[in-house]
Amino acid sequence: MMVHFYTAIMESILCSSITVWYAAATAKDKGRLQRVLRSAERVIGCNLPSLQDLFASRSLKRAKKIAADPSHPGQKLFVPLPSGRRLRSIRTTTSRHTNSFFPSAVGLINRAGPPLPDYNTPPVTPPHTAHATLTAIHHFVTCHFVSCLLLVR
């Protein structure tokens, strides 16, 4: 019951917008928050994920959603290198930009292992689906063409 309370209340408070603020937080602030987590571990009596683990899991989840959404303006920042094993790192000139979400998310993805698929290229449609789609389009055009001819006469 204590773990459910921690997950529902404390973790949601600690992790609200963690993908935005954690990368730019100072070591002192991170240490203070980690101390709160250790206190919760002692009260609950079981191990809890560290703040770094929470940040990494939530940032990876958010980055995957952004990379999968072609309408998101940040999707173009997740560009794979020619080898296809890593993403191109984002060049930054200030530490403020280096510690923002997109550069830190690219770094996390590169450290995590295989990169995200390239969502900038259109997916390959299986032949049977393409044929069914073309047949449906042909049927639609034919029906509307015939109905337009009947209206003109």
For the ranges 72-76, 113-117, 124-128, the lowest mean pLDDT is seen at: 124-128
Q: Between 2 and 27, whose confidence is greater?
A: 27
Q: How confident is the model at residue 144 (pLDDT cuts 50, 70, 90)?
A: very low
Q: Could you tell me the pTM of the whole model? A: 0.63
Q: How confident is the model at residue 71 (pLDDT cuts 50, 70, 90)?
A: very high
Per DSSP, the residues of 88-146 read: PPPP-SSHHHHTSHHHHHHHHHHHHSS----TTSPPPPPHHHHHHHHHHHHHHHHHHHH
- The rounded distance, in Å, linking the Cα atoms of 61 and 115 is 13
pLDDT digits (tens, 9 = 90+) for 84-125: 888 888 888 888 888 888 888 888 888 887 655 555 554 444
CB 76, CB 120: distance < 8 Å:
yes
pLDDT digits (tens, 9 = 90+) for 13-64: 877 888 888 888 899 999 998 998 888 888 888 888 888 888 888 888 898 8
How confident is the model at residue 151, as a pLDDT? 47
Residue type, position 130, single letter: A
Q: How confident is the model at residue 145 (pLDDT cuts 50, 70, 90)?
A: very low
